[in-house]
Chain A
Amino acid sequence: MSTRRGFLASTLAVTTVPLVARAGVLSDAPMVRIITESTCADTLRFAARFGIHSSVVGGDPAEYLFDLERDLRDHKIDLVYGLSRASTQFLVEQTALPHGYQFGYQGQHRYIKQRLLHSLSGTRESIDIVAGRLEWHTRPWAVELADALGVLGSSVAPTQHSEVSAASVIPKDSSRHLVSWLLRPVA
């Protein structure tokens, strides 16, 4: 799990953490902006893993989008990692594109008939590991996904595609469809 370096007081569903690669903490670790929202239990679990508490997670993307834009412009962050509804991913993508960012990893998470289907795209090594964790998870999948940041942080392009599914009860408040992503600057 990534260590925390602090919160942005002005933002809600957002925090910034240094990337902890599997090799351990690097002294000049890339800073990762975490973005999620309060829409359901899954995103809240993801948020909690990064120390974002449900009481401060907002539902309006404007609460963090303009800070994201400023911090990308000022090179204060290196990667953006999130679990959210698809509309939020679109807003974040459009904000990051002019700063030369592209997806290094993308995931879709759909509840279909008491199963949870994960469609993942990223570089081969990272996707194989994350797919395995999501298929055989013992902890909630959103927690696994949060903890996969160390692996996905090195994914540079969605070249490998993988689909895994697991039996799952559909959480009561779920929109049935979430997306996860990692945005990184083009080398």
Chain B
Amino acid sequence: MAANQLPQGISAEAFAAACDEMRGVVGNEWLIRDNVQHLNSYRDTYSPGDIDATAPSAAVAPKDVTEVQKILAVARKYKIPLWTVSTGRNYGYGGAAPRKAGCVVLDLKRMNRIIEVNEKHAYAVVEPGVSYHELYQHLKQRDIKLWPDPAAPAWGGVLGNTADRGVGYTPYGEHFTVQCGMQVVLADGTVVETGMGSTANASTRNLYKYGHGAWVDGIFTQSNFGVITQMGVWLLPEPPGYRPYMVTFPEEDDIHQITELVRPLKISMLIPNAATTVGLIWEAAVKVSKAQYYTGSGVMPDSARRKMAADLDIGNWNFYGALYGPDPIMDNNWEVIKESFSQVPGAKFYFAEDRKGDAAFDYRAKLMRGIPNMTEFGLLNWLGPGSHVDFSPMSPVTGDGALQQFHFMRDTCHKFGVDYIGEFLIGWRDMHHVLMLVFKRDDEAHKRVIKELFEVLVDEATSKGYGEYRTHLDYMDKISGTYNWNNRALARVNEAIKDALDPDGILSPGKSGIWPRKDRDA
């Protein structure tokens, strides 16, 4: 553990003085530097990469906006780079660790108030430290009939996940789409309310997203232009009925037809929720490990895959969706959905009563009705003690797109001896194709394979015209480099905003490939 890590270009004396001043703001307990265990919790031990390259020098946890402003003032004074996290559970994409070693993690977990839940208009306003679990419990304890939309890990945060443009599984699964109203502290300490929040009484702050003039909320996501300190999110009113279902499909190449069938159902909102088409191993791995079916090296052979699929009564693809509404509407929609998917030879249909005791169905059913849980972490046991890094290209909702992506990602994985563990998360007009590259945490050789594979996947995706929606710290420069049309016009806009809003470069340097001028020049 590099406990004596310093921010680049900062002397030990200056850093000690900066830490003293930050300690003066938040109190001794919340400037985390000497408590090695606590500081270790900000390291990305989940990563296949060199975790010293993203090790923080310290962490600081303010309790409110005033303390955030004071910390920013210290950072400006000493030119200390900060790395903002909210709940800091971004595993697969970097955890709470900074892009650049030596940054001080600005940890907002203590700012954990649920500021408002508005039942009439179905929204909540939260501070950064509010986890999905906490919001869900808050609603449940008060018998408020509104559903949050959790990402798969319950300990993730409503604000942090949205800030990284994460996804969930109810009809409100595209998190940034249901964000409305934001409070941001800029690097110079100015507090900004976006959109309607900037009007005199802000009565529509969390109802109408855009306000008047340029709409800026988006620039504060997956970026380093400010510190978000409040966010409004719309919540789904509890529908009168809920029926989760699963459809299994036997063949790998069925993904083409499934996707063609899903598109009209999604666009017309007959399937209202963020549905998923889940690959065989992803579906199986929360229940069984690879060693139960195959103890050889390399990719699981087809015979073992088929045996596993038969034992678990699952398909090579497994579609999860849900019906919401009064019974007649659900009955009616089901007729259409069932008729559609029945066109795929071998499709099988299941409701909850058909899959009692099935951990995978159970956690999906919870997620699609807004109940946070942690079951999906079971996937990491596929190879024994494991972690994962996500490769996540976007795909159009077309059979050709899905099949092409699936083929090249599967085949590339197989060349490296790695199983394809993937799923498609289906939005209105897009799919997040998430490939979980699971590796053995204690096997350095395996980690090297995964890192090499990741690089190849990015290159192949780029050559085929696909871009990733989000990525791990180690690949932020590489992925942002693929968004390079017209001589990096988009990157140059980001850099201009960065230089204007944060001239000292103190906020999250390198987030999504956006570097402050001093780092670009270096």
A contacts, CB < 8 Å to B = 59-62, 65-66, 85-91, 94, 97-102, 108, 110-112, 174-177, 179, 186
Residues of B with C-beta under 8 A to A94: 41
Q: Which 10 A-B pairs have the closest CB atoms?
A: A86-B385, A97-B41, A176-B291, A62-B374, A175-B289, A61-B374, A87-B377, A87-B380, A177-B384, A62-B154
B333 CB-CB contact with A under 8 Å: no
Residues of B372-427 at the interface with A, using a CB-CB cut-off of 8 Å, are: 372-375, 377-381, 384-387
A85, B375: Cα distance in complex, Å: 12
Residues of B35-52 at the interface with A, using a CB-CB cut-off of 8 Å, are: 35-38, 40-41, 46
B292 CB-CB contact with A under 8 Å: yes
Which residue of the partner chain, among A89, A90, A98, A174, contacts B41 with CB atoms under 8 Å?
A: A98
A54, B380: Cα distance in complex, Å: 24
**Taking chain A's interface residues, is the majority helix, strand, or loop, or is none over half, making it mixed?**
mixed
A85, B378: Cα distance in complex, Å: 8
B131 closest partner in A (C-beta): A66
A87, B438: Cα distance in complex, Å: 12
30 contacts between A and B (CB under 8 A): A60-B363, A61-B375, A62-B133, A62-B154, A62-B372, A62-B374, A65-B154, A66-B154, A66-B155, A86-B380, A86-B384, A86-B441, A87-B379, A88-B377, A89-B385, A90-B380, A94-B41, A98-B41, A101-B37, A102-B37, A175-B289, A175-B381, A176-B289, A176-B291, A176-B384, A177-B289, A177-B291, A177-B381, A177-B384, A186-B37
With A110-B384, A177-B381 known as contacts, the answer to whether A66 contacts B133 (CB < 8 A) is: yes
Q: How large is the interface on B (under 10, 10 to 19, 20 to 34, 35 or more residues)?
A: 20 to 34
B359 CB-CB contact with A under 8 Å: yes
Q: In the complex, what's the smallest C-beta–C-beta distance from B52 to chain A, in angstroms?
A: 17
Q: A61-B377, A98-B37, A108-B385 are in contact. List 17 more A-B contacts (CB 8 A).
A: A61-B375, A62-B154, A66-B155, A85-B378, A86-B381, A86-B385, A87-B377, A87-B378, A89-B385, A90-B385, A97-B37, A99-B37, A101-B37, A175-B292, A176-B292, A177-B291, A177-B381
B38:A97 contact, CB within 8 angstroms: yes
B265 CB-CB contact with A under 8 Å: no
B414-458 interface code vs A (CB 8 A; 1 in, 0 out): 000000000000000000000000000100000000000000000
A97, B46: Cα distance in complex, Å: 14
Residues of B with C-beta under 8 A to A59: 359, 375, 378
Residues of B with C-beta under 8 A to A108: 385
